[in-house]
Amino acid sequence: MHLNAFLMGVGHHEAAWRHPLTEPSRITDIGHFQELARIAERGKLDSVFLADGLALWGNVKHNALGGLEPLTLLAALAAVTHHIGLIATVSTTYNEPFHVARKFASLDHISGGRAGWNIVTSAGEAEAHNFGIERPAHGDRYQRAEEFLEVVNALWDSWSEGAIVNDRQSGVYADTSLINPINHRGTHFAVKGPLNIQRTPQGRPLLVQAGSSEDGKEFAARHAEAVFTAQQTLEDAQEFYADLKARLPHGRQLKILPGISPIIGSTEREALRLEKELEELIVPAYGLQQLSNIFSIDLTGHPLDGPLPDIPGNPDGQQSRVRLIKDLAARGNLTIREVINKLAGGRGHRVIAGTPEQIADELQEWYENGAADGFNIMPPYLPGGLSDFVDHVVPELQVRGLFRTEYEGRTLRERYGLSLVEAR
């Protein structure tokens, strides 16, 4: 299976910053993230991943928020690691293709072929307001993303293999017949090219996608090579897995990695105690605002111990996450407070508390029953939660023959069983 470490501040649990096992002052400390990258590489994980948004997420009054820009951070992580993939989230709605193509090409060169791009279209209203516009409609964002990716791929391909001659005797550095403008002119972009950096070690970085709406799944089926997703039950994960795989054109490969937040203890009782400790540190006002932001309605007037009100559809918001939370609440007949507590550990991703063997059992069940090709590991607190997974769950998976014991291949694409991309 494939395993990715999703790094977020001092942990994915929204109360992690209040727990004595974390140091919230380190969320902008490069040493903290370098330590995390080394831990993940020690466990032979495929990659580390950084989420990103273009607004201040959540209520900073009650959580340690505000982090480093991901591409800048990953360049620093590349310098202290040798094998692990480096995946950054970058939006197609509030960037330009030339900038994005150049930055990821740079990261791929810096890391020796370990770069990956998590492609998002940015569903938040606050992000749009930081760029002086109203949030584009859901379908419009994905139409822009289609053309955006077309331009970026063309820019990466604007240098063909063998373009660098480097013949000092003749004075010829490059064969300019192998470096060509792209002359793109479309609905959203007009880009001449070529890119101003040589073809990268992978040809193109690994392409990752994280949307689970209909538009998101169609986009992933056409372009993504890995998908980060959120499901709460084995049945929902199997349904998503089968649906997305069925959409793939013949011959296309795509790995599906649901998010899992493992709370690990040497005994089940110890794991449940840690889960309870984190739950007791939750600030309800923070969770209520998070829930309001996801639903795009203000829930502050509703009693915490009452049921979740009827939530109107929001076609331009976070469609798949709204659906997941509504299903979660209905399945358990949960109050607003209980929904907040359920979401605190992973924002809708599955939270598992147990021993390393129990965690491995869950991962194996999903992996062997058509629900996942691997997992996006979301430690509830950092760095300890990642260390626990690497030192105790990974060896259990290795003993079962479910995970590598050594890295193979040089690039991130090779780690995913993909060939290097040749210029079109």
pLDDT at 424 over 70: yes
C-beta atoms surrounding 400 within 10 Å: 13
Q: For the stretch 18-55, what's the b/e string if a residue is b when 16 or more beta carbons lie within 10 angstroms of its beta carbon?
A: bbebbeeebbeeeebbbbbbebbbebbbbbbbbbbbbe
Distance of CA 34 to CAs 64, 76, 107, 198, 236, Å?
Answer: 19, 8, 16, 27, 35
pLDDT of 308: 83
When pLDDT is averaged across residues 270-279 and rounded to a whole number, the result is 95
Least confident range of 96-100, 107-111, 215-219, 328-332: 328-332
Q: Which range has the worst mean pLDDT, 184-198, 261-275, 276-290, 331-345?
A: 331-345
Are 291 and 339 within 8 A, CB to CB? yes
Mean pLDDT of the region 342-360: 90
d(CA 416, CA 399): 21
pLDDT score recorded for residue 318? 65
Model confidence at 315, pLDDT cuts 50, 70, 90, reads: low
In this prediction, residue 346 carries a pLDDT of 76
86-139 pLDDT, tens per residue? 999 999 999 999 999 999 999 999 999 999 999 999 988 889 999 999 999 989
**Structural domains of the chain, with CATH:** 2-267+349-415 (3.20.20.30)
The predicted pLDDT at position 316 comes to 57
Please give the Cα distance from 216 to 214 (Å, whole number).
5
Residue 248 pLDDT more than 70? Answer: yes
**145: pLDDT confidence band, cut at 50, 70 and 90?**
very high
Q: Which of 24-33, 68-77, 277-286 has the lowest mean pLDDT?
A: 277-286
For residue 142, what pLDDT is reported?
A: 94
Q: 335 pLDDT exceeds 80?
A: yes
Average pLDDT, the chain: 93
Q: How confident is the model at residue 309, as a pLDDT?
A: 82
Residue 58 has pLDDT above 80, yes or no: no
| Residue 306 DSSP SS3 | coil
Q: What is the pLDDT, as a whole number, of residue 304?
A: 87
pLDDT at 356 exceeding the cut of 90: yes
Q: What is the pLDDT of residue 314?
A: 61
Residues 6+ apart with CB under 8 A from 168: none
The mean per-residue pLDDT over the stretch 173-190 comes to: 97
Residue 149: predicted pLDDT: 98
Give the distance between the most distant pair of CA atoms in the chain: 79
pLDDT of residue 134: 92
